[in-house]
Amino acid sequence: MANVAVLGAGSWGTALSIVLADNHHEVRLWTHRAEQANDINESHTNKKYLKEVSLPESIVAYTDLKQAVQDVTAVVLVVPTKAIRDVCKQLREVLDHKVTLIHATKGIDPDSLKRVSEIITEEMPSDYYDDVVVLSGPSHAEEVGLRQPTTVTVSSETMKTAELAQDLFINEHFRVYTNPDIVGVELGGALKNIIALGAGISDGLGYGDNAKAALITRGLAEIARLGTSMGSSPLTFAGLTGVGDLIVTCTSQHSRNYRAGYMLGQGQNLEDVLEHMGMVVEGVRTTNAAYKLSKEQGVEMPITHGIEQILFQNAEPKDVVDQLMTRGRRHEMEDLTNVLSD
Ligand SMILES: NC(=O)C1=CN([C@@H]2O[C@H](COP(=O)(O)OP(=O)(O)OC[C@H]3O[C@@H](n4cnc5c(N)ncnc54)[C@H](O)[C@@H]3O)[C@@H](O)[C@H]2O)C=CC1
Ligand SMILES: O=C(CO)COP(=O)(O)O
C-alpha cells in the first residue's frame, strides 16, 4: 500500500482521504490551518467541512508540507482553483522525488484562462511527475464520506498514469473509469458549475422543473460547444464528467454552486451569498473565465453570458431569464450537429 499526500483539507480533500484510507493507504492530509489539523488528529473529524463523518485513524493531518510529502508515492491536489498556483509553488520547494500527481479541482483560472492541469504543468518541474492526472465526475463529498455509491473518471496524457490513479482510488463504493480526453474531462467539471448556479437561480426565482431541464440540456449544448472548440471530444460531454456531473450539481442540495445560485435567485447579493457559504463556489470565477473564453473562441454561450451579467453586471435574474427566452429562434438539430462536426 502507498503513502499518499492530499493537499487541501476542505470537504473534497477530506472525502477523497477517506476513500484512500479505506483502500489501506497511509494518508497525509495537509492543511494550512493548525486548528483544523488538531481537530482531525484529535477528534478524527473535520467539523467545518464534512460534519457528521468520522475519519479513519489512518488519516493524519499535517501543517508542514515538507513532512506531508516526504516519501509519498502520490500527491493529490484538492485546493480551490484560486490557490492551485500558490500551492504548486510551495510544493516544488519541498518535493524531492517523483510522484503520481493527481488533481481533483474543478475550475478555470479567469486571469490566465488556463485549466488546472495546465497551471500545474507550468508551475511544477517535469522531473517530479510523468503526467498530471485529473479526477472528476459526479461526486459530492457528503455522499462519498458516507461511502454511498459514486462513479468518477480519471484522465491524463498517458493511460498508464491514469491507471495508477485508478488503482489508488477504486473500491466497491467508489468506481473509477479512465478517459484519455483530459481537456474534455477538465472542462466538463469546471463548466457545469456555471449551469448549476443557473439552476439554483431558476429555483430561487420560483421557476419549476421545466426551466431546470431546459438549463441542463441547453447548458450541456453550450459546454460541449466551447469544449469541442478547445479540442475536447464531444463524446466526453455525454459521460460522467459531462452530463453526469451536470445533473448532480444542478439537482443536489449538497451543491454549493446550486445553493449560491438559489440565494441569488431570491434576491441576495453576491458578496453576502459568498460570505454565507463559507466554502468555495468555483462557478463564480469560472463564469468569468468561460465568458472570456467564449469571446476568444467565438462560441455562443447565452446561459453563461446571462449568468455573467447577474454575477458581475448587477443584472436582475428575472430579466436575464426573459432575455434567454426571447432570443432569436434556433434549430436544435443544427446546434447539436455543429458540436459533433467541430
Ligand atoms: N465538495 C465537493 O463535493 C467537491 C469539490 N470538488 C472540487 O474540489 C475543490 C476543493 O473544493 P472543496 O474541498 O469542496 O472546498 P472547500 O471550500 O470545502 O475547502 C477548500 C479547502 O482549501 C483550503 N485552502 C484554500 N486556499 C488554500 C491555500 N492557499 N493553501 C492551502 N489550502 C487552501 C481551505 O482552507 C479549505 O480547507 C474545488 O475545485 C471543488 O470544485 C470536486 C468534487 C466534489
Ligand atoms: O463538483 C461537485 C460534485 O460533483 C461539487 O459541486 P459544488 O462545488 O457545487 O458543491
> Would you give the DSSP letter of residue 236?
G
Residues 104 and 230 in one domain: no
ipTM of the complex, rounded to two decimals: 0.99
d(CA 312, CA 104): 27
H/E stretch holding 189: helix 182-205
To the nearest 10°, the Cα dihedral for 119, 121, 125, 130? 150
Task: Answer with the one of 162, 180, 198 that is the final residue of a domain.
Answer: 180
Is the pTM for the entire model greater than 0.95? Answer: yes
To the nearest 10°, the Cα dihedral for 300, 301, 307, 308? -50
Count of domains observed in the chain: 2
469571446: which residue's cell? 295
Residues 138 and 192 in one domain: no
Residues 225 and 277 in one domain: yes
Residues 165 and 309 in one domain: no
Residues 324 and 300 in one domain: yes
d(CA 287, CA 222): 13
Query: pLDDT per residue over 56-103, tens digit each?
Result: 999 999 999 999 999 999 999 999 999 999 999 999 999 999 999 999
Q: What is the pLDDT of residue 339?
A: 78
Helix pair 302-312, 182-205: axis angle to 10 deg:
60
Distance 246 CA to ligand 2 centre (A): 9
- Ligand 2 atom index nearest CA of 138: 4
Which residues are designated catalytic? 192
Helix pair 182-205, 317-325: axis angle to 10 deg:
110
Please say whether the dihedral angle defined by the alpha carbons of residues 143, 77, 170 and 42, taken in this order, is positive or negative: negative
d(CA 314, CA 224): 27
Please say whether the dihedral angle defined by the alpha carbons of residues 33, 34, 36 and 40, taken in this order, is positive or negative: positive
Residues 126 and 13 in one domain: yes
Residues 231 and 112 in one domain: no
Low-confidence stretches of the chain (pLDDT < 70) are 342
Where in the sequence is the domain holding 320, given as residue range(s)?
A: 183-341
Query: pLDDT per residue over 150-194, tens digit each?
Result: 999 999 999 999 999 999 999 999 999 999 999 999 999 999 999
Q: Is the CB of 32 under 6 A from ligand 1?
A: yes
d(CA 192, CA 216): 9
With the most atoms of ligand 2 within 8 angstroms of its CB, the residue from 254, 259, 273, 281 to mutate is: 254
